[in-house]
Amino acid sequence: MSLTELKNDLAGRSIEDCLIKIASCFPGKIIFTSSFGIEDQVLTHLIFKHNIPIVIGTIDTGRLFPETYKVFNDTLKKYQKEIKVYFPDHESVEKLLTEKGPFSFYYSKENRFECCHIRKVGPLNRALEGKKCWISGIRADQSENRSEMEQLEYDERRDLYKFYPLFNWSFEEVRSFITENYVPYNILHDRGYVSIGCEPCTRAIREGEDFRAGRWWWENRNDKECGLHVK
């Protein structure tokens, strides 16, 4: 199916219907990657509640917040379904820590990219191996870069479709959904954290700051992506 055909097919459907439809287009070759952020929890709820045949995967970088592991565990307990974990290559992590110590990412952008590559991009590449569609919880208003994306895209480099079901949702809509459906969420969202990644690289944001300002806050750059969603 072409990108245009797929877009037309998804137009006007509810989120559940979109997920069901897209899962039927890529049987066994579709994955949703969750980092247990509040948007991701909406999608996890819908996939598990409606038994939609989409693998839910997560990347455990080894540097996550205890609060993130708690919502991971709460999610397993609530839905009693599997979330597939992808971990970094242990030899690469051992080499990085042996040669550069545990906080190399604070010292240069290159070091930060190196750490993100080992701990995030490597496991993500394994998660996406053989997949034809990748779902994520990105919303358009999360950053300037993200608003330039489209709800359904074709990634030539990875040779797969990318679908963002919550692309047009506001943060308030996400919050309401979580509350109304009693979905477990990361308690850090109540403490000023909006985009939650690794513990040493994430801080709460202040009023008026950009959605991604709390990620790699020591770096003076506008593009706060980590290599996962770059083309």
List CB contacts of 19: < 8 A, sequence separation 6 or more.
43, 46, 47, 50, 52, 54, 135, 165
Q: Binder to ligand SF4 among 45, 63, 139, 224 (CB under 6 A)?
A: 63
Residue (9 or 225) nearer to ligand SF4, CB? 225
Residue 112 interacting with ligand SF4 (CB under 6 A)? yes
Q: Give the separation between CA 147 and CA 210, rounded to whole angstroms.
A: 13
Name the token pair of 172.
């308030």
* Eight-state DSSP code of residue 118: I
CB 45 within 8 A of CB 57: no
Residue 120 interacting with ligand SF4 (CB under 6 A)? yes
Task: For the CB of residue 117, give the shortest distance to ligand SF4 in the complex, in Å.
Answer: 8
Q: Give the separation between CA 7 and CA 36, rounded to whole angstroms.
A: 27
Residue (18 or 143) nearer to ligand SF4, CB? 143
Residue 201 interacting with ligand SF4 (CB under 6 A)? yes
Cβ count near 45 (within 10 Å): 19
Residue (137 or 165) nearer to ligand SF4, CB? 137
Q: Binder to ligand SF4 among 119, 139, 189, 224 (CB under 6 A)?
A: 119
Task: For the CB of residue 229, give the shortest distance to ligand SF4 in the complex, in Å.
Answer: 13
Q: Is 201 among the residues known to form the active site?
A: no
Q: Give the separation between CA 163 and CA 152, rounded to whole angstroms.
A: 5
Sign of the torsion formed by the C-alpha atoms of 119, 123, 128 and 50? negative
Catalytic residue selected from 18, 133, 198, 226: 226
- List interacting residues with ligand SF4 (CB under 6 A): 61, 63, 105, 112, 115-116, 119-120, 197-198, 200-201, 226
Q: Which residues are catalytic?
A: 226
